[in-house]
Chain A
Amino acid sequence: MAAKFTQQYHPMYDFEAADDRAYSVRHIADQAASVNNFAAYAGAHKLISEIYPLPAMCLSIDDDTDEHIVKMWAPRRVAGHFTKINFQAGHAKTSGATGNTTWTLYASAQMYSTQGIVTTFDSAYFGVDWASAAIVSSSSTHAVSVATEITLKRRGTGLVWFLLTAQSASSGGANTGRLTTLDVTPAM
């Protein structure tokens, strides 16, 4: 019996060992699957869940063509067996914008140094352990996108730091974008 993760949980009944309902291999397999399933899926509690109601609370950027930090979070504790981060967002670029807007979520097991990071994002300030994934707003029609999974560069349980950058492909007044939602979840 290889480790099973995708068998969903179902309650098991009491049983008596050494009786006609022996502690069977089936029971052991069910319990192992339940533990594995929880560790991998049901226990993958959300790390960030945000909404940005329009108009004033939307997370919008200007037409800055430099990649710059728009949001930072306090660190989240992420269990060691979660090696990946899922990043989903609702987003759009402004009607009339000629350039796309790129939203990039960075994750690092090391607290970044903010010294020197003013407007232009510089990944060097993460040291060597950062990883990232991006979502591109290429249409003024609202979209809900899933970024490529971020593979964490670390070993073992610990705090993970997140920050979000934005970058417009073109300058000019209309070249802006906005987020409506942002959700971050760990994964194996």
Chain B
Amino acid sequence: MATTSVPKEFIAIDVSGQSRPWYKDATGAFRPMPAKAGAIGMLAAGGNYIGGRQPRLLFSQARTPTQVSATGSDPLYVFSFDDVVENATSQTWRILAMPRSAGTGTAYAGKESSSEQTEDYTTAAITSNFPENVFYQQFTVDRAGGWTAVEDIEQGLSTFNGYKILDIAIEENPRSFMTNGTDQVIPTPTPGSGREIIETDPNTIQDVIHAVRSTNLGMAFWYSSTCVSGTWATPGSTDSSAIVTTSTSFVNILDQTVSARTATSPGITAIVQYCGRGEYGGGTALLDNDGASVRVKCRVFGASVSDDCEVKFIGSDHISGNEATATITAGGSGAWFDADDFIYLNSTVGGDDATTARNKIDIHFKMNSAGTAYVYALAGPINYF
């Protein structure tokens, strides 16, 4: 099947030399002038680049040497993302690790319930030093069975026999070539000099741009606690195995002495200026084509004892009531729960905004009555609307 090569680097598209709106004829009159074919070539190259060369980072989790699990767990971390990018056919799982300090046999890290894993680590347990003993490994995870858009993928990373992982980063892989008719690609040859522009050229370009722009959206936040020996622990206080609360009023999950979102309260920051859709609408009403907003889906993995726990995600203050709540229902030992709504980031403010309008997501939680809740993981994929 024919393939199309993808430019290795992005070059900003400037069609000013290829597409001028008017020209002056011999009589001095201004007349409309069509685009040159060269403009199509530039758009095709740019469209293919953003479709093939700007894949997402789906999850990462780093620990300090004192926080890292020395024994391993299956799973160790859990995470969630939307798998809706047609061109993303595989992932690279990048791992920074330390020599094991416990365990015997073959140590390794891998995708939960899968044979995709790092190369075997067989060196016996030693006392290692940070940072001079860190080492790097990676492995590839293929999207088996072709592409089907699936939201809310739930996966895990596992470590075995003392594999000591400092950081995991899961990235979708870029594409050097894409398959015409299968991938979201603008096939070559694009119109060359002297060739007329036919209807399918601009429509194909438009289709690819729209597909990429509406699916290849990154994550606003992610987090995973450390699972212990395959069981989600119920510690008495916050540690690496859970964020714990018994509060019956909303408190910030990062600092439970904080109960309000302010410009400086603990929260996850994001840079999304110009990442909205449509023209700036202004005002506080959320319009479908209001370019002032970036939509974020919020998920939490947790467990609750005695009663339900509400986890509230609070977005930027450019929209009144910009909140979404996920309810961790009582019982069970850990499951994903979806928020009842989306939250919206403000694409009209820059990353250096220091007011309450800044793009900062505060997360609060509370028990509905006496009991204890455990937040193990969070996921916030940016979502097109």
Contact = CB atoms under 8 A, between A and B. Distances in A.
Contacts of B219: 45-46, 49
Nearest to A139: B264
Contacts of B210: 11-12
Interface string B268-284: 11111111111110000
B212 interface: yes
Interface in A99-127: 111, 114-118
A153 interface: no
Given A14-B203, A90-B267, A118-B132, A5 B50 contact: no
B347 interface: yes
Nearest to B353: A146
B2 to A, nearest CB: 23
A79 B53 contact: yes
Interface in B141-172: 166-169, 171
Interface string A63-106: 00000011111111101110000101010000000000000000
Contacts of B53: 79, 157
Given A28-B15, A57-B238, A80-B9, A51 B223 contact: yes
B243 interface: yes
B277 A8 contact: yes
Nearest to A159: B94
A1 B10 contact: no
Interface residues of B, number: 108
B104 to A, nearest CB: 25
B254 A52 contact: yes
Given A3-B14, A11-B210, A74-B136, 19 more contacts: A8-B280, A9-B277, A23-B34, A23-B35, A28-B35, A28-B39, A32-B14, A32-B15, A35-B43, A42-B217, A51-B221, A53-B238, A80-B10, A81-B9, A81-B10, A142-B255, A144-B263, A146-B352, A156-B8
28 contacts: A1-B19, A8-B278, A8-B291, A9-B277, A12-B210, A23-B202, A29-B19, A35-B13, A41-B273, A43-B218, A49-B219, A49-B223, A51-B223, A51-B254, A51-B378, A52-B254, A57-B240, A72-B62, A72-B167, A75-B136, A77-B171, A81-B12, A116-B132, A143-B264, A144-B354, A146-B351, A146-B354, A183-B268
